[in-house]
Amino acid sequence: MESHRGLERAVTVQINVLTGKHLRGSRSESCLSFIRAEFNGRVLGDSQTLDVAVDRDAVYNLTCSFECSELTHTLDHLAHQPVILTLIEDSPEEKEQKTAVLGQAVVDLLPLLKGQRRFSSSVLLHAVPGSPVDASLNEDSEKATLDVSVSVQEPLLSDIQISESNMLMVTVETAYSVPDIWDPASTPPSSYVAALQIPLSAAKEQILLFSNGRVKMGGERESVPRPKKWPVGHLLVPGAEVMEGQFIETEPTDMSHGDLMDIEDTDFRADAECNRKRVSWDTVRRCFIDAGGLACLSRRIAECRLWPVEIMRCPQTRQTDAGKNHKEKQAEDEISFHGVVYMDLAPLLYPGVRRIHGTYRIHPFHECELLTKAQRTHSVLMEMSRAPASHGSTRPSSSVDTSKASQVFENKRENRDAFKKGKPDQSDSRADTNVQVNAKGQMCADSRSYIVIEIALDKPLVPKRPPGELAKRLMPQRAERAVHHYHSQIASVTAQVLDQYQQLFGAAFVLGRRPLDPALREERKARLLGELNSSGTYFAFKEQMKYSVVRIVREKMMRTDAFKDPEELQAFLSQLYVYLVDEMHVALNKTLSVDSQDKHREPGLSFSQLKLLAKEAELNNDYKQAAQYYQECAVRDDSEPSHWFDYGVFHMLTADHIKAEECFQRAVSIDQKHTSSLLMCGVLSEMNGCYEDAETFFESATCAEPDSVVAWTLFGLFCQSQEKSFQAEMAFLEANKQLRSVPKNKPESTAEHQTEPGEKNHQTDKTSQTPAGKTEETDIDVKTVNEVDNRDCKEEEAAGVSPSSVKTTIYTEAVRFLLKNYALQMAQRALAQELLSPDRGSNSSYHLALAQLQMLRGEHNSAEESLREALTDNLQNPDVWALWGHLNYMREDYSQAKSCYERTTSLDAADTHSVHLRLGSIYLQDREYKKAKGTFQKACRSSPSCLTWLGLGTAYYRLDELKEAEDALTKASALNSRNAEVYGFLTLVYLRAGRKPEAEQSYNYAVKMNLQKELLLQEIHDLQARAGFEKPFF
């Protein structure tokens, strides 16, 4: 294929050096000089020698070129090597003509790899220290520059090749805490080398060599930001080795990649990076990788995520004495201080990740460890040292070579060749060498040496799903909302026009009035239009309608591009006009219907009160009443996504997943960043087998709220189920990162998720359930537990441990969200991961969540066992006691439920609304009216609702406190005028007080609201008979 073939034929790259500005030589009046162009170790050409005055530009007009092909100067050479321009001064006055290098400039050829055919730049000329150019810089004169242009006759890469290829940049920064024996003043001097191997194509591997590391003494930190250097820096004068626009920036202390990331390593790193010896490279190597190379790189990372980077120290001396003994030859042949770091490149396979930057421990090199960890059979440094000596001739050189590092491997080859002439290779000597290498490499491990490396890509290996996909999937909902918005604007404008009409002519609609004759109607119409135009109101109406029409065009008609054909534009405008007129009539029929009359509405409850009433209805298994409350919230404000989300959660409770999905998608269509709705859409899409949609929703949730622990955890669970291991790993790592960033004092409570457990599978009336039999094996002895726990509680308080403080994990957070929203399948998977997690929370939190899941599934016996396990780990957890109370309440074991609820209230749980309601009802049932009164008073203070005031009113009535009972019941009726039991007890209060008219009215309301409680009805009838009524009135 085209993207895998690379360069099909050689392409000529032409370099034109046009002029030099502000050049100075050894002579004060003029500069006799020429320009030499070099690339990839070869001289491309010299310009003519010019003698130009120092105040004039030197017009060199040097034109040279080289062939870019797959054989000589490859695309990878263009990526990591610049064109070197050297300014050379000629001295013809000397007896022997001499030349001197004045300075160098570099030209980056990267734009050619981006698809450009021509570019020009003015490059800075960097002076050789001590040269006349350097002296002029010290005098604050203008900087010397060269004007250069680069061109090719055709692009080096096609658009497809550019889109499918990538640029990888490896930056080796600094190795810290190196062995003390590494000394910058050592004799002979040494070079420090780092190397790794990268696939450039499907068939070609490239060794990246960083050979100019130099030892620095400790005492201060490395400066930031500091520039990155070309990998051929030893060929360049100081300053020219800097790669323009590339800097090593300050990194956060909690880098997410590499080793030494624990808190206990922070002090060690701070000391090493300030006070200890280090080896500095600060060198970046760019690699051009084609589509085949990217596929190979991704496959290799997927097969083995650890990538070796080898490090060694090499002496920079030439020793060719053939008379040395065998051991001396072996010492020369070894790779000194051979170490290796294992970089985890798996994050490069995370969606959207383009960069990893971390600290990595330096380990002693062992071939067996290399095979085990990195699945490599040989060392790249050993391969380079064993390569033929002719291979070294391809190493770049230039007119200025500031390092002897290029001689290192040639020296070692010569020594090895000389040794082989005398004696063949033997396995024993190789074993001895390994021992020596291991001994020296172990020094790096003993010193806890580590190195900072960065790997960056222009484009991620795995692209992230674009956010626009979600908008496309939700286009139908957005179209409906666009039409609805247009209707609302029509209604608004209509109301304003009607107000203007009534100001001019009086009431518009009067019952019994005869219709206007046509002439008068036209007169009024003309006058109204004139008034609207003269006052500017008509223009304001147009502006008001403009946005809604634009939304119709974009979201309903799905037209976003400009029209190029006038006929097509006219056809579209005609279609749009017809549609807008039709929808206007629909809106007007709704707004100006003669039959519609405003109905008197009693003051409505707040949304929070409505939702509290809905939760109480769910608590009593009255799902029809709960649905009405949720519907009222959605109808009163259908543009609020939280109302639709709560309605969707209600449908999850009733297992109506189709309606639940509709509600969640409606919430997302209103607000595409409503994270909870996005997550539930993803959960339901996965349940329905729509995995692509589920991935879109989960990814969108992480984009909408990047710091959400739950969003990243659910995304990871989904990717794990789809066997996308790297995406799952990325999501879990991000979730843990966000969890660690949460303030430690932020309360982590699960009480709010336990207000209505177990209701889903218990929709039958409690009177029809068979009470669970009590046995010594299943019943909890609360008194015994209290006695045992009093001592534990005192010990915990003395130790300063909060009874309710529980370690949380990402899976715990996910389970809370899923159980709260009744997503039981994924909740079970999250619990399984929590059980397998090495840093799992306490047993109490796990078994508590497991018990909740089992109760929602109706597995009461299993839930009881889980609660026992939870109490074994933490007897002071109020959420466990609350859930056990709910379990016993549903089993109609009210005695045990009362004990558990009392324990919960004594521990001061975070959310006790359901506990107070049920405990108060048990007190009423057991005729402990004073306790019931106190419990409901607490509930009314913390979260007042119809049921709390009803319970308090009932307790007051049973205590014969009729005035207080009437007040409480009146407040209950104000919060919910449709509760028949409230009017039933009001009837009793009025009958006891002798207020027959109010009693009759209350009774009628109770019957109208279909009062079902037989005992309450019988009590009313008995009191009516004692009060002297012949028969119950209705």
Q: What is the mean pLDDT of each run of 10 residues along the chain (1034 residues)?
A: 58 95 84 93 93 90 93 92 93 67 94 94 90 63 90 92 94 93 80 93 91 88 91 88 89 66 86 92 95 94 94 70 47 71 92 91 92 90 67 50 44 45 44 54 91 95 74 61 82 85 73 70 84 82 85 79 84 87 83 49 70 88 90 86 94 94 89 91 94 90 92 95 92 91 52 39 36 36 43 41 58 94 94 84 82 92 91 85 91 91 82 88 93 93 90 93 92 86 91 87 87 88 78 48
Beta strands in 22-143 (DSSP E): 30-39, 42-46, 50-53, 58-68, 83-91, 98-107, 118-124, 126-127
At 818, the amino acid letter reads L
Question: Which helix H or strand E contains 973, and what residues bound it?
Answer: helix 962-975
DSSP 103: E
The angle, 0 to 180 degrees and rounded to 10, between the axes of the packed helices 641-653 and 657-670 is: 170
Per-residue CA distances from 579 to 408, 591, 593 (Å): 80, 18, 21
Closest CA to 909 of 919, 924, 921: 919
Chain centroid offset of residue 170 CA: 25
pTM above 0.85, yes or no: no
CA dist., res. 209 & res. 311, Å (int): 10
Q: What is the structure's pLDDT at 841?
A: 61
Secondary structure of residue 739 in the 3-state scheme = helix
Per-residue CA distances from 265 to 222, 270, 344, 922 (Å): 19, 9, 19, 57
Token pair, residue 398, equals: 């230039």
Phi-psi region of 245 (alpha: psi -120 to 50; beta: other; left: phi over 0): left
- The verdict on whether omega for the bond into residue 225 sits within 30 degrees of 0, i.e. cis, is yes
Please calculate the CA angle 402-403-407 and round it to the nearest 5 degrees: 140
**Residues sharing a CB contact under 8 Å with residue 508, sequence separation 6 or more, in sequence order:** 498, 501, 502
Q: What is the structure's pLDDT at 698?
A: 92
Question: Which helix H or strand E contains 338, and what residues bound it?
Answer: strand 336-344
Cα dihedral 209, 212, 218, 223 in deg (nearest 10): -90
Q: What is the structure's pLDDT at 775?
A: 33
At 114, the amino acid letter reads K
What count of other Cβ atoms lies within 10 Å of the Cβ of residue 27?
14
**Tokens 């190397």 — which residue?**
195
Q: Could you tell me if 317 and 411 are in contact, meaning their C-beta atoms sit under 8 angstroms apart?
A: yes
Q: Could you tell me if 630 and 649 are in contact, meaning their C-beta atoms sit under 8 angstroms apart?
A: no
Chain centroid offset of residue 347 CA: 14
